[in-house]
Amino acid sequence: MIARVASVERHGVYIRMSVEAPEIARAAQPGQFAMLRVADTSSTDPLLRRPLSLHDRNASEVEFFFSVAGRGTDILAGKKPGDRLDVLGPLGRGFALDENMTGRTACCVGGGRGIAPLYFLARELKARGASVHILYGGRSAADVPLREKFEAAGYQTFVSTDDGSFGFHGLVTDLFEKQAAAERPDRLYACGPDAMMKTLAASAARLGIPAWFSLESVMGCGFGACWGCVHRILRDGTPEWVKVCEDGPVFAGPDIVWETGP
């Protein structure tokens, strides 16, 4: 659908963009994403849409939170309020959420731009009664822009930086280990680089914490037609190339076969 850009804010290297798309806002679930056409509809370069997670929503708008990775996101970052934007969504399967989370702790771990889907997720978890912990890792103090927003929303927020310029000095996976030793969360949700998620998946499995991960892959269509976006997932114990856009992007920890990382 053709949406209208409502607002654009810069947060360091990140851009928060909100667009008027009531139908998408109404149907959205945390962990789902949208495919955005960044070129004018009369242009074919860049040709394909770009996937972005739904960062938040209200009654009539959805928000995206992204960094410039290449040409497509660079063009997107240049959009101004009032510009028209062709948005397809909501797409994919989001995070599995228990109806009632009262008395339970949910730990949401984000690395870099992986923090994007966790804001919407945290809100839905809180609405179901969960006590939400946000663990957020970045390279340096400038790389953890949503801290105040998470804190203001009432989540316990813990930050790690690789260079120690803010919060815990080290990797967010080490921060998770430290936190989980003090208070074992009931659920783990994460999005970020594969290496981070692979380490978290191993920790969660060792500690017996049910965990879900939002995967990234290169997407051609975003709705199951091209078979370009596959990741290796266990189906009845057998690894198969499964579509991230349609069967994911969120998968349960034990089902994911990690290809890269430590």
Partner 1 sequence: MDLSADLGFLRLKNPVIAASGTFGYGPEFEPFINLEKLGGFVVKGLYFDPRPGNPPPRLVETPSGLINAIGLQGIGVRAFAEKILPRLRDLDTAVIANVCGADDEEYVAVAEFLSREKGLAALELNISCPNIRKEGACPAFSPDATRRLVARVKAATPLPLITKLSPNVTDIASVALAAEDGGTDAVSLINTLLAMAIDVETRRPKLANVYGGLSGPAVRPVALRMVHQAASRLRVPVIGMGGIMTGRDAVEFIIAGARAVQVGTANFVDPAAAVRIAAEIESFCRERNIPRAADLVGTLRSS
Ligand X SMILES: Cc1cc2nc3c(=O)[nH]c(=O)nc-3n(C[C@H](O)[C@H](O)[C@H](O)COP(=O)(O)OP(=O)(O)OC[C@H]3O[C@@H](n4cnc5c(N)ncnc54)[C@H](O)[C@@H]3O)c2cc1C
Q: Which does 231 bind (CB under 5 to 8 A by kind): ligand FES, partner 1, ligand X, none?
A: partner 1
147 CB-near residues (< 8 Å, 6+ apart): 136, 157, 159
241 counts as binding partner 1 under rule CB under 8 A: yes
**From 2, 27, 47, 257, residue interacting with partner 1 (rule: CB under 8 A):** 47
- Minimum Å gap between C-beta 225 and partner 1 is 4
x/- letters, 59..88, toward ligand FES (CB under 6 A): ------------------------------
Q: Which is nearer to ligand FES, 97 or 250 (CB)?
A: 250
Q: Is 99 in the site for partner 1 (CB under 8 A)?
A: no
Q: Which residues of 149-163 are buried (b: 16+ CB within 10 A; e: fewer)?
A: bbeeeebebbbbbee
Q: Quick one: tokens of 10?
A: 């810069």
Position 198 contacts partner 1 (CB under 8 A): no
Q: Which of 216, 221, 242, 256 binds ligand X (CB under 6 A)?
A: 216
Cβ nearer to ligand FES, comparing 170 with 220: 220
Tokens of 100: 């009632």
Q: Does 245 bind ligand FES (CB under 6 A)?
A: yes
CB 73 → ligand X: shortest distance, Å?
A: 3
Size of the site for ligand FES (CB under 6 A): 12
Stretch that binds partner 1, among 46-54, 96-104, 113-121, 250-258 (CB under 8 A): 46-54
Rounded-to-integer distance, Cα 79 and Cα 38, Å: 9
Q: How far is the CB of 89 from ligand FES (least distance, A)?
A: 13
| Cβ partners under 8 Å of residue 185, min gap 6 | 105, 106, 107, 133, 179, 209
Count of CB atoms situated within 10 Å of the CB of 1: 13
209/180 Cα distance (integer angstroms): 10
Axis-axis angle for helices 194-207, 172-182 (nearest 10): 20
Helices and strands, counts by H and E, the chain: 7, 16
**Which residues contact partner 1 by CB under 8 A?**
37, 44-49, 88, 217-221, 223-231, 240-241, 246
**Which residues contact ligand FES by CB under 6 A?**
219-222, 224-229, 243, 245
**Which residues contact ligand X by CB under 6 A?**
33, 46, 50-53, 65-67, 69-73, 113, 116, 216-219, 249
